[in-house]
Amino acid sequence: MRQQVSKTAMIRAVGAMSGTSLDGVDAAEVVTDGQRIAQFGRHDYRAYSAEEQSTLRAALGKWNGAEVAAAGQVVDAAHLDILAQFGDADLLGFHGQTLAHAPRLQGTLQVGDGAKLAEALQKPVVWDFRSDDVAMGGEGAPLAPFFHFACAKYIDAREPVCFLNLGGVGNLTYVDPRFDRPEDPGALLAFDTGPANAPVNDLMMERLGLAMDQGGQIAMSGTVENGALELFLAEPYFSRVPPKSLDRNDFAEMVGLVRELSDADAAATLTAMCAASVAEGMAHCPQAPRRILVTGGGRHNPVLMEMLRVSLDCAVEPVEAVGLDGDMLEAQAFGFLAVRVARGMATSAPGTTGVSACVGGGIVSRPSEI
């Protein structure tokens, strides 16, 4: 019998996220009606092997061809592995893997076949979250802000707060919880701040064969090259008014700016670029937030966190300070958004992606009748 999604009850949804850091797949449960978060459930992580990472990296920036097809196979297999562990889920949210993002030109590409997963797992799967937003003139990113609004309500925030996600790319969500709904004008402002972990990760891989600067240990002993930092901040992207978004490789030339520096100085400079781009972005907030809650892998880097605290005029804390899970927040977001899509609710708004009107993106694929 065909599975259906209730229109009123709380739903146990599982979201899966494979981010631009290319380290692996996070999957996490959230119980929600698409507006309120009732509770968070269990979570899991499935790392990509070195071979799988190599396949994904080879497809970055490409829109079609053999490399893209191979990446799609890796993404499908990894998600099948991890999502099979959540047999009691009512609904699955499958983001896929972003390989290319140019909303004003070719569009946005996330590989992964949600219909294939629905059949294999015998669960309804929501996927292709970004295409409808881009088709209506939006940036297609970031998409977590509606979930961030629900999180602000969940932690009982009474004043404006920012969620800062530091993955491969950095993105900021300004939330004013005094509004009733995320769609309300003024409730949200969101945009990509600039590159975050991706340039440092790429530098570590290129020079040292390491996946990342673990704990900021290499940057910690380095000195920031201010000339390179000034050239970086002169990029036109930072003067653009949000909403705005980036592709993972939009600032690939950053590694070139630090080419002549030692490993430590290069890592310190790229880390400083991430912090400086966040500081530039904060100027766009309607008012100063009470605090910035940091999620994503960047919050584990003490050098980056200290640079943020020095450059910003408000408290900077990991989201764990308010009882949230910074490793799983993005995955939880796509579980939450999956429920909204299944119920015909908006997932983005003019203030979050620049879309012309509120839009609910996504495809709902259900398993065949049995």
Query: Does 370 fall in a domain?
Result: no
Query: Does 216 fall in a domain?
Result: yes
pLDDT of the chain along its 370 residues, tens only?
A: 344 545 668 999 999 999 888 899 999 999 999 999 999 999 999 999 999 999 999 999 999 999 999 999 999 999 999 999 999 999 999 999 999 999 988 899 999 999 999 999 999 999 999 999 999 999 999 999 999 999 999 999 999 999 999 988 999 999 999 999 999 999 999 999 999 999 999 999 999 999 899 999 999 999 999 999 999 999 999 999 999 998 887 888 888 899 999 999 999 999 999 999 999 999 999 999 999 999 999 999 999 999 999 999 999 999 999 999 999 999 999 999 999 999 999 999 999 999 999 999 899 999 985 4
Are 302 and 336 in the same domain?
no
Are 286 and 340 in the same domain?
no
Are 23 and 116 in the same domain?
yes
Please give the pLDDT value at position 321. Answer: 98
Query: Does 83 fall in a domain?
Result: yes
Buried b (16+ CB within 10 A) or exposed e, 260-276: ebebbbbbbbbbbbbbb
Query: Does 3 fall in a domain?
Result: no
Work out how many domains the chain is built from and give that number: 2
Q: What is the CB-side half-sphere exposure of residue 103 using CA atoms within 13 A?
A: 21
Are 30 and 113 in the same domain?
yes
Query: Does 150 fall in a domain?
Result: no
Q: Please name the residues in contact with 54: beta carbons below 8 A apart, sequence gap of 6 or more.
A: none
- Give yes or no for a contact between 272 and 307, defined as CB atoms under 8 angstroms apart: yes
Please give the pLDDT value at position 370. Answer: 41
Q: Please name the residues in contact with 70: beta carbons below 8 A apart, sequence gap of 6 or more.
A: 55, 58, 59
Q: What is the CB-side half-sphere exposure of residue 246 using CA atoms within 13 A?
A: 25
Are 16 and 111 in the same domain?
yes
Please give the pLDDT value at position 22. Answer: 87
Query: Does 269 fall in a domain?
Result: yes
Are 119 and 190 in the same domain?
no
CATH number assigned to the domain comprising residue 298: 3.30.420.40
Please give the pLDDT value at position 305. Answer: 98
Are 100 and 168 in the same domain?
no
Query: Does 148 fall in a domain?
Result: no
Please give the pLDDT value at position 265. Answer: 98
Task: Convert the pLDDT of each residue in 193-241 to its tens digit.
Answer: 999 999 999 999 999 999 899 999 999 999 999 999 999 999 999 999 9
Residue with tokens 């499958």: 94
Please give the pLDDT value at position 369. Answer: 57
Please give the pLDDT value at position 3. Answer: 46
Are 161 and 299 in the same domain?
yes
Are 177 and 309 in the same domain?
yes
Please give the pLDDT value at position 252. Answer: 81
Are 132 and 189 in the same domain?
no
Please give the pLDDT value at position 47. Answer: 97
Written as one letter, the residue type at 37 is: I
Are 29 and 128 in the same domain?
yes
Task: Convert the pLDDT of each residue in 332-370 to its tens digit.
Answer: 999 999 999 999 999 999 999 999 999 998 999 999 854
Query: Does 355 fall in a domain?
Result: no
The boundaries of the domain holding residue 22 are: 11-139+328-348+360-365
Please give the pLDDT value at position 1. Answer: 34
Q: Is the peptide bond before 142 cis (omega within 30 degrees of 0)?
A: yes
Instruction: Determine phi and psi for 257, rounding to 5 degrees.
Output: -65, -25
* 49 vs 23: CA distance, rounded Å: 8
Entry pTM: 0.94
Are 297 and 172 in the same domain?
yes
